[in-house]
Structure 1
C-alpha cells in the first residue's frame, strides 16, 4: 500500500475488517471521511476500550522460573509476558532474566559470560533449553529400560538372595516323604545317577532359576500373636525348573 492514495487506503482498510468493526465502518455517514488519518482517529477512538492495557516493565522482575519448570516452558512464558509490558527495555531485561532463572548450569553460564545483547540472550537460552529437553528425554528412556522386567521377574531368585533353610523350614508331604535330595545329599547317600555325575562335574553349570512360593491357607489362629507365629512358621519352598537335556557337540 506504500504510495497509495487516501481513497485506496480507506477501501483497503475496509477489506481487513470483520464482525463488529465491519459494521462500524458501514455505519459511517457519507462523506464523513476525507483522509485516512481521519479514519484511523475515529477507528481508534471508537474501539479504545478494546485495546489491551499494557503492564509496567517492572512486572518482569516478578517473573521467576519455578522450582520444577523446564527452561523451555519458562522461556516461552517470558516471551509471552514481554509482549504485554509497556516500554520494554531490552538492556535492563538482561540482568532481570539472569536473576530470575533457577540456579544450575544455565544460570552459571550467564553469570560467567553475560550476553551483550537481548537477542544474544534469547539465542543462548533457546540452545540451553533444547539441550535441557534432550537430556530429560534421555533420562526417561534410560529409566524405562531399567524398569522393564520379565514376567514374574521380581520373584526369580538372584545370586546371593534367599535365606538358608533350617530344620524348621523343611517341607514334608502328608505321607511323610521329603523333597528330592540335592546333589550333595545324594552323594552322601550314594544315590548319584549318571546324569547327576555329569552335572556335578560340569565346569560352568547353568544357574537354575528359583521362584519362592508360600504354602498355606487361611489359617493362623484367633489372636494376633497366634497368627504372627503361624506366619513365621510358613514354609518357603523352591520351584526348580529341570535343565534341558544336553546335546553332545561334534
Structure 2
C-alpha cells in the first residue's frame, strides 16, 4: 500500500481488518472519532502492546548458554556460537569467559582452565 499510495483512512481500515481477539476488542472500545490519522492509530497500537515486545538482548546474555548434561561439545559450541552472532558482543575476553564458565566439568573444561584461551 505504501508503494502504490493510499489515504490515512485506507491505512486505518486495512490495519483494523487485521485485528482479532483482544486487539479488536481494544480497538472497538476506543471512543468514536478518537483516531484522526494513521500515524496516531499506529502510535496508539504500539503503546497499547509495547509490553508484548521481546526484551532487548544484551551482550552478557551469552552467560545464559550452558552445556546440558549429555549434550555434545559440538552441539553446545554451535548453540553458543549462534548466541554470539545474535548478541554481537564486542568484548572478546567476555565471550571466552562465558564459554569456559558454562562448560560441564570434564577433560575439555580442565584443558581450557589450564591453557586459558585468548580468543573464542
Q: Given the two structures, how large is their TM-score scaled by the length of structure 1?
A: 0.31
Matches within 5 A, 1:182-221: none
Taking the aligned partners of 1:93 and 1:66, their CA distance within structure 2 comes to 25
The number of aligned residues is 100
- The partner residue of 1:11 within 7, 10, 13 is 13
- Structure number with greater Rg is 1
Contact 2:66 2:76 (C-alpha < 8 Å) held by counterparts? no
More helix by share: 2
- Post-superposition Cα deviations, 1:110-131, rounded to whole Å, max 9, x if no partner, equal x8xx7xxxxxxxxxxxxxxxxx
Task: Tell me what 2:114 maps to.
Answer: none
Describe the shift of the 1:63–1:25 C-alpha distance in structure 2 as closer, same or farther (beyond 3 A): same
- The partner residue of 1:51 within 47, 50, 53 is 53
Contact 2:62 2:80 (C-alpha < 8 Å) held by counterparts? no
- Post-superposition Cα deviations, 1:203-250, rounded to whole Å, max 9, x if no partner, equal xxxxxxxxxxxxxxxxxxxxxxxxxxxxxxxxxxxxxxxxxxxxxxxx
The answer to which structure, 1 or 2, has the higher relative contact order (CA under 8 A, 6+ apart) is 2
Q: Given the two structures, how large is their TM-score scaled by the length of structure 2?
A: 0.56
Residue aligned with 1:54, SS: coil
Structure 1: any 5+ residue segments left out of the alignment? 105-110, 115-250
- Post-superposition Cα deviations, 1:19-64, rounded to whole Å, max 9, x if no partner, equal 1001111222222212221012111222233334334321213423
Taking the aligned partners of 1:76 and 1:15, their CA distance within structure 2 comes to 39
Asked if 1:42 is matched to 2:44, the reply is yes
Task: Tell me what 2:99 maps to.
Answer: 100
